[in-house]
Structure 1
Amino acid sequence: MELSDFKSFLGKPIYEDKNVLIYQGDSLELINYIPEGSLPLTITSPPYNIGKEYESILELDDYIEWIAKWINQVYRCTSSHGSFWLNLGYLSIPKKAKAIPIPYLIWDQVPFYLIQEIVWNYSAGVAGKLFFSPRNEKFLWYVKDPNNYVFNLDDIRDPNVKYPNQRKNGKLKCNTKGKNPTDVWQIPKVTSGKNRSSKERTPHPAQFPVQLVSRIILASSDINDIVFDPFLGSGSTAEAAIKSGRKVIGFEINENYINIAIERIKNICYDDQQKIKQGNLFDIMVSNS
C-alpha cells in the first residue's frame, strides 16, 4: 500500500508531503481507520502517566487498560512480517514502588510476540541521593510472527571491532561490516540547558534522539516502507524515517508539537535541496574548468 492510499481511510492530514502524513487527533480514535495488516513497522513512546505537560493522569488500572486498547489496534494494523517497538519508562505506585518499569505492568496485555528487551543507556539524567542515578529506559521489540519478521543486521552492524583482522584457519573471524550490536545501546540522550543542550533539542520535554530511532528503523524495515508513530511528539520518528529512506504516518494531539515536527521535516527538505544545489554548482564548475 502506498502512503497516499492512507488518505482515503484517514482523510485529509494536517500536513503532508511525498514522504509524510501527519494527523492531529486522539490516536485511539484515528487508528481505527487504518486498514488491517497495512503497517510494516510501528515505533512509539506513549505518555508514561507521570504528570508530564502533555498528559492527564489516569488511575493505574485505567492507564493499563488504555495502553492495552491502542496496542491491540496496532497489532491489528501490523503486517504479517511487521514489528512493533515500544518505549516505556517508569512510574510510581503508592506504597508499592518508587519507580516500577511500566513493561512489568503490561506483559500480559500485549498480543505481539516479544523478541527482546533493549536497554537504552544514556549518560545524562537525574542524580540520586537515596537511590542509584537512573540512566536507562527500555525498548520492547515485538513482532507479529516470530518465524517471519524483518531484521536487517548488516545495516546496523557496529564497526568498532576490537580485533578486526583476527583469523581462524586463514579466514577472518568477524564480519567485515562489523559486529552485531548488543542489547544495551549507549546512545546520548537529548539534553537541555544553557551550556549542554543537544543540537537537535526542541521544546518538547521528552524527545527521542534521532540516532536511537534510526537504528530501529534500519533494523526493522526496508527502504520505502511506511513507519507509523501514533504518538509523534516532536517528530523524531519522522526525521529518522525520512533520513533512512522510509515514509512516515504520525498521529499527535498537541498542535504545538505538530508544529515542531513539521519544522523539523521542512528543515530536512531544505538541507536536501541545498545539497542538490551545491552538487549542481560543483558540476557546473567542473564542466567550465
Structure 2
Amino acid sequence: MNQTIDTVQPAEQTVSSETAAQARFETLLAALGSPYARGERHAIYNGDCLDLLASIPAHSLDLTFTSPPYNIGKEYEDVLPVEAYIDWCERWINEVHRASRSDGAFMLNVGYVSLEGRAKSIPIPYLLWDRVPFLLQQEIVWNYGAGVAARKFLSPRNEKLMWYVKNAENYCFNLDEIRDPDVAYPNQKKKGKLRCNTIGKNPSDVWQIAKVTSGQGRASKERTPHPAQFPLDLCERVIKGFSPTDGIVLDPFLGSGSTIDACLRWGRYSIGFEVREDYCAIAAERIDDSLRQSASLF
C-alpha cells in the first residue's frame, strides 16, 4: 500500500534542531577561545589557521569553504618554494579533514602558480591531487569576465573550485537551492510531460560569476579594501548548495568576510580565521553593516 509521508517538520522538531545547532556552535567557540568579534551565529578569530584548527574538536564542521593564499606574492603572503607551499597546504587541509563531520565537505578555491622550467601557470590542484585526504567529488570551473589582458597567451578567465567530501555515499548537496532558472525551453514536453525541472536546470560544473572588481568607475558595489575578495554570489551558491541549514561553516582564510556574510544571509552558523588583524577589522565592519541593512528591511 502506498503511504503519503508528511515531510513538514513539526514546530517542536524545528526548534529542537535549531537549539542543537546553536549548542554545537557554542561548544566549538568555547574550544577556540575568545574571538576577535562575534554575533549570535558567527565568530571571527585573529590568528594562524594551523593553531586555530588544532583547537577544533574532531567531527565538528559541516563545510569548510575557503581560498588560501596562492603563493604568488600578494601583500598578505610570504612566497615559499613551491614544495614548501604544497606541504603547508597539506598540513592545514589534514586538520580540516580531522575537524569535519562524517558527512562533511570541503570546498577549495585555488588558482595557479608557475614552476620554473616546467610550467608558466599550473593549477594548484594538480600539485595537491595526492595530498588531500578527502574524496574529490568534482572539479568546478569558475569562469569570469575581468582579469589579466594577455598578448602572448590566452587571457586567463577561470579558477578552480574543488568539491571534496569525506564520505562518498553521505554528503550534503542541495541541488534545488541552486538551480539555474534560465531554461532555454521551459515548456518543452516529452510524452505529455515537461522535460525540465520547473524550478530550473542544474547549474553544471562551469559557473559564470563575476569577480569583485576594483578601480575608478568600475569597482563592484561590494568592494572592500581587501585585495583579493570572494564575490558574494559565489559564496552564496556554495553555502546554499553544499551545507545543511543550521550547519556550521568554517573559512580558515577569511579575508574580507564574504563567507560569513553569505552564511548569515542563508541561515548557517559560521566561523572565520584570519591571521591579519586589519583584515579582521574589515570583515567585522562589513558583517556589521550587512546585519544592519538586513535588520532595516524588517
Letter in 2 for 1:80: S
Counterpart position of 2:14:
none
Q: CA separation in 1, counterparts of 2:195 and 2:155?
A: 38
Counterpart position of 2:12:
none
**1:206 corresponds to 2:225:** no
Contact kept? 2:28, 2:60, Cα under 8 Å: no
Counterpart position of 1:137:
159
Q: 1:175 aligns with which of 172, 192, 197?
A: 197
Q: 2:177 aligns with which of 155, 166, 188?
A: 155
Q: 1:251 aligns with which of 263, 268, 273?
A: 273
C-alpha RMSD over aligned residues? 0.8
Under a length normalisation based on structure 2, what TM-score does the superposition of the two structures give? 0.91
Counterpart position of 2:18:
none
Q: CA separation in 2, counterparts of 1:2 and 1:272?
A: 25
Counterpart position of 2:144:
122
The SS at the match of 1:40 is: strand
Q: CA separation in 2, counterparts of 1:123 and 1:130?
A: 19
Under a length normalisation based on structure 1, what TM-score does the superposition of the two structures give? 0.94
Counterpart position of 1:220:
242
**1:51 corresponds to 2:73:** yes
The SS at the match of 2:176 is: helix
Tell me which stretches of 4 or more aligned residues in structure 1 moved more than 3 Å: none
Q: 1:74 aligns with which of 96, 103, 107?
A: 96
1:221 to partner: Cα distance: 1.0
Letter in 2 for 1:136: N
Percent identical residues: 57
Counterpart position of 1:269:
291
Letter in 2 for 1:17: G
Q: CA separation in 1, counterparts of 2:137 and 2:289?
A: 35
The SS at the match of 1:3 is: helix
Q: CA separation in 1, counterparts of 2:30 and 2:230?
A: 30
1:223 to partner: Cα distance: 1.5
- Where does structure 2 lack aligned partners over 5 or more consecutive residues? 1-22
Count, aligned residues: 276
- Where does structure 1 lack aligned partners over 5 or more consecutive residues? 277-289
**1:86 corresponds to 2:108:** yes
Contact kept? 2:226, 2:256, Cα under 8 Å: yes
Q: 2:252 aligns with which of 230, 252, 272?
A: 230
Q: 1:106 aligns with which of 128, 149, 161?
A: 128
1:182 to partner: Cα distance: 1.1
1:7 to partner: Cα distance: 2.3
1:169 to partner: Cα distance: 1.3
1:237 to partner: Cα distance: 0.4
Letter in 2 for 1:243: R
